[in-house]
Structure 1
Amino acid sequence: MEHIREAFNRFAQDYDSQREYIIPDMRQYYGAAVWAMESREQQPEILDVGAGTGLLSAFLLEKFPDARLTLMDISENMLEMAKKRFADRPETRYVVSDYSTGELGGPYDIICSALSIHHLAAEDKRELFRRIYAVLRPGGIFVNADQADGETPYFRQRYLDCWNEFLQNGPMTGAQREEILKRRDTLDKNEKLSDQLAWLREAGFADVDVVYRNRTFIVTVARKG
């Protein structure tokens, strides 16, 4: 994970400003993730794993303004950006940790993640889903806004072609696009959506589904019974 930490430390400053030019229909994507989160608690305990600059957490606080929020990320620089974002929320906790192996804490009412877990190897994803299940309260929700491979080589290529066209038509410079493609080729380890749903069920989640898909970009939801 060290190469991931170094990469995200390096481009933390530009992360938020590039999001809408990297992710097609970004606001619908994040909006679907926030919609999927639910809790009966007025102040739900929420863990954002791979929280980065806190972009997903910022959206979910519009729905749960009194949430007790913990942001966990391996990149110190990304969390520094998050601290600036939430400067008016001194109660927010920040944990610099490799969530794939480090303690998650808990218990939590909601665990969420955006565009992070796809950096893990397949078996590490499966193990993380099991560990997330263990630290959720009964009825707790795990929402993962992430990436998925195509179910066949044909769809994998079609999804990549679509994404490449989106990047090409955006306002970023050639150098910025080259950096993003390099990052995608070296850091991304996408798995099929069908595999990810199967691993969530295997972990013990009672209700598992996908609530959003725009080719590569997915939002899965899993509820602990």
Structure 2
Amino acid sequence: MEHIRQAFNRFAQDYDTQREYIIPEMRQFYRTAVWAAESGDSEPEVLDIGAGTGLMSAYLLEKFPQAHLTLVDIAENMLGMARQRFAGRKYTRYVVSDYSTGDLGGPYNIVCSALSIHHLAPEEKRLLFRRIFAYLKPGGMFVNADQADGETPYFRQRYLDYWNGFLKSGPMTGSQQAEILKRRDELDRNEKLSDQLAWLREAGFSDVDVVYRNRTFIVTVARKV
């Protein structure tokens, strides 16, 4: 995970400003994840894993303004940006840690993640889903806005072509686009959506579904009964 920490520390300052030029339908992607999150508690305990600059948490606070947030990320510079975003806000905790192995605390009403878990190896993802299930309160929800591979090589290539076309259509320079593609090739480890849904059920979640998909970009939701 050290190479991931170093990579994200390097571009923490530019992360948010580039999001809309990297992620097609970015706002809908995040807002669908917020829609999927539910809690009977008006002040839910929320864990944001791979929280980065706090962008997912910021969207979630539009729905749960009194949420008690715990933001976990391995890259201290990314969490530094989150500290600036939420400066002065109560009930906000920051943890610099490798969430694939570190203690995540809990229990939580909501566990969320955005564009992070796809960096893990397959078995690390499966184990993380089991740990998230254990961290959740009964009725708690896990919402993952992330990436998924195509179900076949044919669709994998079509999704990549779509994504590459989107990147080229935006305002980023050629060198910026090259850096994004390099980072994608070196750090992304996407799994098929069907595999991810199966791993969530295997972890113990009974209500599991996909509520958004735009080629590579997905939002899955899983509820602990």
TM range (shorter): over 0.9
Show the counterpart of 1:136.
136
User: SS where residue 138 of structure 2 aligns?
Assistant: strand
Q: Which residue of 1 is the match for residue 188 of structure 2?
A: 188
Q: 2:147 maps to which residue?
A: 147
SS in 1 for 2:71: strand
Q: Deviations over 1:147-205 (max 9, x none)?
A: 00000000000000000000011000001000000000000000000000000000000
Q: How does 1:77-116 map to 2 (within 5 A)?
A: 77-116=77-116
The letter of the residue matching 1:113 is S
* Preserved CA contact (<8 Å) 2:67 2:91: no
Once the two structures are TM-superposed, the CA of residue 8 in structure 1 deviates from its matched residue by 0.2
Q: Give 3-state SS (helix, strand or coil) of 2:212's partner.
A: strand
Runs of 4+ in structure 1 deviating by more than 2 angstroms, as ranges, are: none
Q: Verify: 1:41 aligned to 2:41, yes or no.
A: yes
Aligned to 1:59: 59
C-alpha distance in structure 2 between counterparts of 1:62 and 1:207, whole Å: 24
What does residue 122 of structure 1 align with?
Answer: 122
Amino acid at match of 1:178: A
What does residue 159 of structure 1 align with? 159
- Structure 1's unaligned 5+ residue stretches are none
Count of aligned pairs: 225
The alignment-based identity, stated in percent, is: 80
- Describe the superposition over 1:89-120 as per-residue Cα deviations: whole angstroms up to 9, x where unpaired: 04310000000000010000000000000000
CA RMSD in angstroms comes to 0.5
Question: What is the CA–CA distance in structure 1 between the aligned matches of 2:88 and 2:118, rounded to whole Å?
Answer: 31
Deviation readout 1:119-138 (Å, 9 max, x if unpaired): 00000000000000001000
TM-score, normalized by length of structure 2?
0.99
| 2: CA distance, partners of 1:39 / 1:169 | 39
User: What SS is found at the alignment partner of 2:20?
Assistant: helix
Give the aligned residue type for 1:23: I
**Per-residue deviation at 1:42?**
1.1
